[in-house]
Amino acid sequence: MPSPRGSRERRSARPEFASLLSQRGPGAPESPSRRRESAGSAPPPLPEEDCMRLNPSFVGIALSSLLAVDLWASKRLGVCAGEASAWGSVRPLLKVVEVSGHGIPWLLGTFYGLCQSGSSAAREVLLNLFFALVLDLVLVAVVKGIVRRPRPTHNKMDMFVTVSVDKYSFPSGHATRAALVCRFVLHHLVLAVPLRVLVVLWVLIVGISRVMLGRHNVTDVLFGLFLGYVLYSVVEYCWLSPLNAPALFALWSH
């Protein structure tokens, strides 16, 4: 039978053993069971942003690649961005093309035609052209203000009559306006085939000149042409006539 003195000594030794275990440093060896538990536990998950960087989506890769190609091609095609550029001697001619696609000459010319027109049919066409040009200016300005894509670095800010949003490049307002006017003219004016071909060529020259002058990237012009093409369909759908807008036509009646 164990003596009471031995039992008391064993009880007093247990707390000392527990305190030694609690004071064991991080470098002390772990038991096999603890090692198996540590090996079996899953590593903590990566943050979501790290997962996105490590596993980029296909759409993100495609957009980044498209942007890189767009910037490279726009830089290579900007051969008239300055007088010292490869085709710098052609720059004055392309600046004339730039003015031909500017909004102010088109608005002033259409307004003058409205004031001088003596035919109700001509006034209807010109009034809708004026409405289309105003809608084009507003829509392009809104998109530029939302996207805020800066113009190419090789562009010289010597453009004809600019406003605050013209420091942004997406989309090309000249390309949008050229496509819009082209569809409008081809649908509402009776022109000979050579003149119709010249109108289409004018659109292409305006679009190409925007990249050659360094004003826009290639995607700015392509989206501008698409936007102008679609915008004409909106104008056709909202076509103004003496029946649905009599007050407007009363202003121009003699």
Task: Give the whole-angstrom CA distance, residue 221 versus residue 230.
Answer: 14
Distance of alpha carbon 21 from alpha carbon 35, whole angstroms: 17
Contacts of 70 (CB under 8 A, 6+ apart): 217, 218, 219
How is 16-40 classified by DSSP, letter by letter? HHHHHHHT--TTSPPPHHHHHHHHH
Q: Among residues 102, 188, 216, 254, which one is catalytic?
A: 216
Whole-Å CA distances, 92 to 11, 81, 95, 100: 103, 11, 5, 13
Q: Identify whether 254 is a catalytic site residue.
A: no
The reply to whether 216 belongs to the active site is yes
Of 102, 154, 174, 254, the catalytic one is 174
Active-site positions read: 174, 216
